[in-house]
Every structure is written in structure tokens, then in C-alpha cells.
Amino acid sequence: MVDKKIVKTFRVNREEEKDLQEKAKALNMKESEYIRFAISHKPDDYPEIRILLGRLINEINHVGVNVNQIVKRHNSGEYQEGDKVRLEAYLRKINDTLEEAVVELGNK
């Protein structure tokens, strides 16, 4: 069965219209797409959450590459005391990025 599209007409005031336009534009979506996402109330669907999680995953991947390099140095006997400091800095960076994401999601 083909899902037939239904057209809905509704009213908003100027402030709501501006807010809708800004939010849709910020997420690179059409207003109708943004409204459908907002109605669904599914956290996975919200583009801002996907964007934040994508940034967090990228950050963790970058740190993972650096950690792998340090582990390789350790296994080859080239480990230096500065590597421990670098590892701690990378872990702090992950924690900071995660905290920023949590704060930003909490403000939405």
C-alpha cells in the first residue's frame, strides 16, 4: 500500500514563523521536514543530536589514532615518559568534548 501524502495547513505567528525558519535553516532542512522531525519525538531523529554525536565520534577516533601510536611505541621499546602525559591529555580532551555535548543537548 502506498502511503498517500496529506497536506496540512496551520497558522503560526510571526515569531513562531521566524523560529521555524531559523531552526530548519540551521539544520539544512525544509520547514516541513523539520516539523515532521519535531512531531516524531524520537531523539535519534533530531539532526542536532546526530551532528553532536558525529563530532564526538570523530574526536574519539582522532584520539584513538594517537593512542595507537603511543601503544606501538611502547611495544617497540621506544616508550617515553612524555607519552603518559600525552595519553592523559587525550583522555581529558575526550571528557571535555563529551561534557560539551551533554551540556549542549541539555540546553535543547
How many domains does the structure of the chain reveal? 2
Distance, in Å, from the CA atom of 72 to the CA atom of 93, rounded to the nearest integer, reads: 21
Same domain for 20 and 53? no
CA distances from 73 to 56, 65, 76, 94 (A): 26, 13, 5, 22
Rounded to the nearest 5 degrees, what angle is found at the Cα of 53, between the Cα atoms of 57 and 43?
Answer: 150
Same domain for 100 and 90? yes
Residue 8 is part of which domain span? 1-41
Residue 42 neighbours by CB under 8 Å, 6+ apart: none
**How sure is the predictor about 15, in pLDDT bands with cuts at 50, 70 and 90?**
very high
At 8, give phi and psi (nearest 5°): -115, 140
41-77 pLDDT, tens digit each: 665 556 777 787 888 888 888 888 888 888 888 888 8
CA 21 to chain centre: 21
pLDDT reported for residue 46: 66
| pLDDT (mean) for 16-45 | 84
- Grid coordinates given for 13: 505567528
Sequence-ordered strand ranges (E) for the chain? none
Same domain for 67 and 85? yes
Answer whether 0.85 is exceeded by the pTM.
no
